Amino acid sequence: MTSTARMRPTRPADLPLAALVDAFSLVSVGADIAGTTVHGVTMASDDVGTGELFVAVAGARVHGARFAAQAVDAGAVAVVTDAAGVAELGDLAQWVPVLLADDPRALAGPLAAYVAGDPAQHLRTVGVTGTNGKTTTTYFVDAALRAVHPTTAVLGTVELRIGSQAIESPRTTVEAPVLQHVLALAVERGATAVAMEVSSHALALHRVAGTTFDVVGFTNLQRDHLDFHGDMEGYFRDKARLFEPGQARRGVVVVDDEWGRRLVREARIPVESLATHVGDPAAAEADWAVVSADVGLDGVGSTFTLRGPDGTEHVAASPLPGLVNVSNAALAIVLAHAAGVDLATAVDAVGGAHAVPGRMERVIERAPGRPLGIVDYAHTPDALVLALEAVRPITPGRLVIVFGSDGDRDRGKRPIMGEIAARLADVLVVTDENPRSEDPGEIRAAILAGVRQVRPDLADVHEVSPRAQALRLGVALAGEGDTVIVTGKGHEPTQEIAGVFHRYNDRDVYLQAVADGLADAPPLPAAGGAA
């Protein structure tokens, strides 16, 4: 993974540690703080910049204080930690300033923001949360912000991008100090607006503490991550933290599900509601509503009509296929408008947005003799249904899917994904996703068990490993009018097999297949034994 070190401001702060102690009412329990100045904040001993404050938090695995000496060796000048952390530090406290805090994790963001000069104050900030659609909506919002802001930043699962420069993102929402460094660098590079994904983990773990968003959006809430949040109630409560005073100034909430409707009732900041399912009773009550949609009629995305709070109707478009992207596009338009973009400008910019990496991304355009080739990130049964339903209307011929399922993750979904693919696609190439520590053949066998429920004879079903060969077969099997969709890995730049991250990207494989000539297929393997 590319280091986030490159995302530090080039002109770091220079703040007396004593000023931080005063501002945050910290208690000094280590060496004398006089004369110590702070240039930044970090929570990770392997990501320390010179003169930074190391915030040592109790983690799920280990207490960060265990790595304080390592952080100091790497350039940290002081440590902020809790009582358990102080106990862990031992002799280190004799020669390094140590500041005691009740909840260092909750403090890391505000501390980092303070040291970085509160960069969010200089940016128009939009945050997007929800189970699905965060990445897509964030890119759509960025397209609208770019129409009026010459330089923008977009932060999320795919990348950390400022203007035209990007690095891979280590996670959907980076740790609090990293976020503040990135925002400070964005300001330094002239950015005036940022759109970012805010995961539920980030909200639970205070990664966006210290940032007050101008506008926040909620897409939907579906079953996910219950291992972390406990139950749907806990998951909802963590998502709802984004809609608290101090965390955001105003919000836009999609009210297609009951969780969204509840959020509108319970949010303690001003929110606008948006209904995106045509004909849903929620539309009558909602501030904004999608009142008609022509999905896939233009062979690419959809056109739809968005009714505003004053009753005015606006003809808008989603550049990506499927009803879910009508929802994402509508939310992005309303968010961008709430963030100060003129409505007509937001509508135009979202309709003309470029591809979102790995989200219904069209890598091979349909042409004479050539199929349409799409990469999508769908890796849950629900998302797979939506993805296949979205491409069917833009597929005059056969629908070819290349897919697998992750190792070391929910095993129960494997046969379900197989059954869905067999029901909704015409030709199946079952392959590997990220097998991790599991036997890839066993994962494919579990998927094929689901396929057999629908197609006992395994007609038009192939089992191929490795993944690159599977995708090349999928492309070779498809002709004019057909669509190939490869799902599960989206933008991911690596494939994790037995603890090793191999460079791998679905888009690159498509492009290589085109460069080599589309019909250059590997030999046809029989399902039930990988090639």
Query: Which of ligand UAG, ligand ATP, none does residue 60 bind to, with CB < 5 to 8 Å depending on kind?
Result: ligand UAG
Q: What is the DSSP string of 78-102?
A: EEEE-HHHHHHHTTHHHHS-EEE-S
Task: Decide if residue 45 touches ligand UAG (CB under 6 A).
Answer: yes
Q: What is the signed CA dihedral for 523, 527, 529, 531, rounded to 10 degrees?
A: 20
How do beta strands 98-100 and 27-28 pair?
A: antiparallel
Q: What is the DSSP letter of 351?
A: H
Residue 132 marked in a binding site: yes
Q: Which of the choices ligand UAG, ligand ATP, none does residue 43 contact, using the CB cut-off of 5 to 8 A by kind?
A: ligand UAG
DSSP annotation of 356 reads B
Position 62 contacts ligand UAG (CB under 6 A): yes
**324 lines the binding site for ligand ATP (CB under 6 A):** yes
Q: How many CB atoms lie within 10 A of CB 195?
A: 31
Q: Which amino acid is at 231?
A: D
Q: Among 64, 177, 319, 493, which residue interacts with ligand UAG (rule: CB under 6 A)?
A: 64
Q: Residue 358: which of 131, 129, 139 has the closest Cα?
A: 139
Q: What are phi and psi of 377, to 5 degrees?
A: -90, 0
Rounded Cα distance between 417 and 267, Å, is: 36
Site for ligand UAG (CB under 6 A): which residue of 18, 189, 192, 201?
201
Q: How far is CA 167 from CA 101, 113, 128, 146, 164, in A?
A: 33, 21, 20, 19, 10
**Per-residue contact flags (x/-) with ligand UAG for residues 166 to 195, judged by CB under 6 A:** -----xxx-x--------------------
Residue 342 near residue 153, CB atoms below 8 Å: no
Residue reference for tokens 């034994």: 529
Would you say 38 and 53 are in contact if contact means Cβ atoms under 8 Å apart? yes
The residues, any chain, with a CB within 8 Å of residue 280's CB and separated by 6 or more, are 256
CA atoms 491, 497, 501, 506: torsion sign = negative
Task: Kindly state whether residue 387 participates in binding ligand ATP, applying the rule CB under 6 A.
Answer: yes
What are the tokens at 355?
Answer: 């591809």
- Token digits of residue 527: 């399902």
Interface pick for ligand ATP out of 36, 42, 169, 172 (rule CB under 6 A): 172
Question: Quick one: what does residue 57 bind among ligand ATP, ligand UAG, none, with the CB cut-off 5 to 8 Å set by partner type?
Answer: ligand UAG
Which C-beta is closer to ligand UAG: that of 207 or that of 337? 207
395 binds ligand ATP (CB under 6 A): no
Least distance in angstroms from the C-beta of 490 to ligand ATP? 7
120 touches 217 (CB < 8 A): no
Q: Are strands 302-307 and 427-430 parallel, antiparallel or unpaired?
A: unpaired
Q: How far is the CB of 219 from ligand ATP (least distance, A)?
A: 5
x/- map, 100-139, ligand ATP, by CB under 6 A: --------------------------------xxxxx---
Least distance (Å) between residue 356 CB and ligand ATP: 7
Tell me whether residue 138 or residue 211 sits nearer to ligand ATP (CB atom).
Answer: 138
Q: Considering the rule CB under 6 A, would residue 226 count as an interface residue with ligand UAG?
A: no
* Binding span for ligand ATP by CB under 6 A among 28-36, 183-191, 372-380, 422-430: 372-380
By the rule CB under 6 A, 341 interacts with ligand UAG: no
Q: How does strand 152-155 pair with strand 193-197?
A: parallel
Burial class of 42 by CB neighbour count within 10 A (0 to 12, 13 to 18, 19+): buried
Choice from 113, 378, 451, 478 touching ligand ATP (CB under 6 A):
378
Choice from 202, 289, 334, 497 touching ligand UAG (CB under 6 A): 202
User: How many whole angstroms separate alpha carbon 236 and alpha carbon 221?
Assistant: 7
44 binds ligand UAG (CB under 6 A): yes
414 is known to lie in a ligand binding site = no
Question: Environment class of residue 305 by beta-carbon count within 10 Å: exposed (0-12), middle (13-18) or buried (19+)?
Answer: middle
Looking at the DSSP assignment, which residues form a beta bridge with residue 252? 217, 272
**Which member of 61, 233, 312, 517 binds ligand UAG (CB under 6 A)?**
61
- The smaller minimum CB distance to ligand ATP, of residues 17 and 275, is found at 275
Using the minimum distance from each CB to ligand UAG, give the nearer residue, 72 or 215. Answer: 72
Contact pick of 287, 376, 419, 432 for ligand ATP (by CB under 6 A): 376
Least gap, CB of 67 to ligand ATP (angstroms): 28
Q: Is the four-CA dihedral 41, 45, 47, 51 of positive or negative sign?
A: positive
The single residue among 20, 53, 57, 183 that binds ligand UAG, judged by CB under 6 A, is 57
Is 134 annotated as contributing to ligand binding?
yes
Determine how β-strand 372-376 pairs with β-strand 483-487: parallel
Cβ(443)–Cβ(508) under 8 Å? no
Q: Does 211 bind ligand UAG (CB under 6 A)?
A: no
Q: Should residue 383 be labelled a site residue for ligand ATP when binding is judged by CB under 6 A?
A: yes
Q: Which is nearer to ligand ATP, 77 or 383 (CB)?
A: 383
Q: Which of 180, 199, 405, 469 binds ligand UAG (CB under 6 A)?
A: 199
Residue 135 annotated as lining a ligand binding site = yes
Alpha carbons 250 and 215: distance in angstroms, whole number: 5
Nearest residue to ligand UAG by CB is 59
CB of 270 or CB of 501, closer to ligand UAG: 501
Residue 129 labeled ligand binder: no
Contact between 200 and ligand ATP per CB under 6 A: no
> Which residues are part of a known binding site?
45, 130-136, 172-173, 199, 207
Question: Applying CB under 6 A, which residues contact ligand ATP?
Answer: 132-136, 157, 172, 197, 219-220, 324, 327-328, 359, 376-378, 383, 386-387
